[in-house]
Amino acid sequence: MTRFLLHRTLASLVTIWAVFTLSFLVIRSAPGGPFDAERDPPAAVKAAIEARYQLNQPLWQQYLDQGWSWITLDPGPSLRQPDHDVATILSAGIPASFLLGTLALLLGVLMGMGLGIIAAWQQGRWPDRLVTIFASMGISLPLYVIAGLAILLFAFHLPIFPPAGWTDPIAVVLPVLCLALAPAAQVARLLRSGLIEAGQEDFARTARSKGRGQVGTLIFHCLRPASIPVASTLGPTAAAMLTGSLVIEQIFAIPGIGMHFIQGAMNRDYPLVLGAVLLYTILLQVLTLLGDLLMGWLDPRAGVNR
């Protein structure tokens, strides 16, 4: 276990460094600058602004300064919001993004597991076909289409939920549900296949021969081995949800990290965009590690505990 954690920590640090380098180069190579939207200032004023934010330094020097500022956890001020530093802006958006992502992931996994069990139990019957159709639609439909249809149906035709906002607890339901549909479809599809395969093994036949019902066999004997493929996809699923949260936060006007990231990209706010990318990368690495540990608990042969 110690060797595995050390290896994954080193790999995560290399990944974070690579993402930082690529993001820095991509951001700086994009056309336009953070102050291009302002009125053309005098040369002395423009030089003073660039000197204040060290934009007059060579690119390699800015790269080293940005890297050191993040190592010391002092990313500095935002270029477009000089009264607030990047850490304060991102920390203000963490609660909304964390609540949105956590609820959506839990709802998606629970809903997907329930649908997967029902589909495996009713294999070849109409509930199985409905779950298969749901899984296909949930995986193939773009998130903005799902969110648009949900707003059109549940906010305008059936005014149950507000179309946007994050102030009322009922406003949380619609964005969480939209973000949870894709992982629920993925989990349902994988768990159905895993349960059907595990139900044909000798231990499942033995359980049924001892009087255990089909549902009990699926839940108490087949669920753990069938959950291994689900656990192995938690990392990519979390990545997809982090990407999807950018869209959801923008559509539903949720003041999370995704909204700050999009606003920072539109304003060419280099430190803010870089901070959001690094924060998403760190979260993805942590979630991937948790998924690998869960897979090691479900299947000791995975080598995680060595």
One digit per residue, the tens of pLDDT, for the chain of length 306 reads 677 778 878 888 899 899 989 988 888 887 766 666 555 666 666 667 666 667 777 888 888 888 888 888 778 778 777 677 888 888 888 888 888 888 998 999 999 999 999 999 888 899 999 999 998 888 888 888 989 999 999 988 888 888 888 878 888 999 999 999 988 998 999 999 988 888 888 888 888 887 888 788 888 888 888 888 887 777 777 766 776 788 888 889 888 888 888 888 887 788 888 888 888 888 888 877 777 777 677 666 655 555
Please report the pLDDT score of residue 141 as a whole number: 87
Give the C-alpha separation, 106 to 184, whole Å: 9
Please report the pLDDT score of residue 40 as a whole number: 61
Please report the pLDDT score of residue 116 as a whole number: 92
* Contact assessment for residue 183 and residue 112, using Cβ atoms and an 8 Å cutoff: yes
- Compute φ and ψ for 85, nearest 5 degrees: -85, 165
What token pair was written down for 100? 């949105």
Please report the pLDDT score of residue 86 as a whole number: 85
Please report the pLDDT score of residue 305 as a whole number: 55
Please report the pLDDT score of residue 117 as a whole number: 92
Give the C-alpha separation, 51 to 53, whole Å: 5
Sorted by where each starts, the structural domains of the chain and their CATH numbers stand as: 86-302 (1.10.3720.10)
Please report the pLDDT score of residue 107 as a whole number: 92
* Contact assessment for residue 302 and residue 8, using Cβ atoms and an 8 Å cutoff: no
Question: Which residue reads 């991937």 in tokens?
Answer: 288
Alpha-carbon torsion, ordered 81, 87, 90, 96, to 10 deg: -130
Cα angle 231, 237, 241; round to 5: 145
Q: Which residues contact 257 (CB under 8 A, 6 or more apart)?
A: 90, 93, 94, 97, 245, 249, 276, 279, 280
What token pair was written down for 204? 């499942």
Question: Which residue reads 């109409």 in tokens?
Answer: 126
Please report the pLDDT score of residue 92 as a whole number: 85
What token pair was written down for 246? 């950018």
Question: Which residue reads 């959801």 in tokens?
Answer: 248
What token pair was written down for 31? 């056309």
* Contact assessment for residue 77 and residue 156, using Cβ atoms and an 8 Å cutoff: no
CB neighbour class for 263 (10 Å; exposed up to 12, middle 13-18, buried from 19): middle
Tell me how far CA of residue 133 lies from CA of 34, 45, 50, 93, 139, in angstroms: 46, 61, 55, 36, 10
